[in-house]
Amino acid sequence: MSLEKHIEKVLFSAEVIANRVGQLGSEITSDFSGESESPVFVGVATGACLFLADLVRRIDVPISIDFIRVESYGSGTVSSGAPRISFDLKLDVTNKHVILVEDIVDTGNTLSCLIEHLKSKKASSVSVCTLLDKPSRRKVHFKLVGIGKFYSGFECPDDFVVGYGMDFAEQYRNLSYIGVLKPEFYM
């Protein structure tokens, strides 16, 4: 059965995503074009993989790229609320501008844990660039560091979404769009 048959509704098409990613790239490029230190884009694995890959190709200043992994969701759709870093950065971010690249911000627990972690590594600033944001579900109000900004692609309705890097039980990350599964596939 084709993957498309699992999807109840498309929320953000590939074209809509590509346009918005281009705008975010331009905004970040202009914000960092005057900085002497080149920023480090840190993708939060695995969900941000496609977004990071597309975003960095729309950035027109020197940058470096790294990954970090945080576990909080398990395989279900409800956060455990206690994220932990299970795979750390390779690069030294001391005195660097870090841009955390996330697929989606929900309760804010994951980001707040990551921001504290980067603060302890003495990053000079921490920004967040998330493709999706569910502000209605926020439980933790994280504080950015230094000149750090919050970049957000789209506000997302309070549905569990998949695609463009985001999974349900490690499936559906390879969809080029973002959508909601038919109820019979959330099992």
Would you please indicate which residues are annotated as catalytic (active-site) residues? 106
- List beta partners, residue 64: 40
Taking CB within 5 to 8 Å according to partner kind, which of Mg ion, ligand 5GP, none is near residue 79? ligand 5GP
Residue 107 near which of ligand 5GP, Mg ion, none (CB within 5-8 Å, type-dependent):
ligand 5GP
- Separation of alpha carbons 168 and 74, rounded Å: 10
Residue (107 or 124) nearer to ligand 5GP, CB: 107
d(CA 176, CA 93): 31
Please, what is the minimum distance in Å from the beta carbon of residue 67 to Mg ion? 11
Q: Which residues bind ligand 5GP (CB under 6 A)?
A: 44, 47, 72-73, 79, 83, 102-110, 160-162, 166-168
Distance CA 164, CA 86 (A): 22
Q: Say what the alpha-carbon torsion angle 116, 128, 106, 12 is, to the nearest 10 degrees.
A: -160
Q: Which does 115 bind (CB under 5 to 8 A by kind): ligand 5GP, Mg ion, none?
A: none
Q: Which amino acid is present at 151?
A: Y
Tell me which residues touch Mg ion (CB under 5 A).
Answer: 44, 47, 73, 103, 167
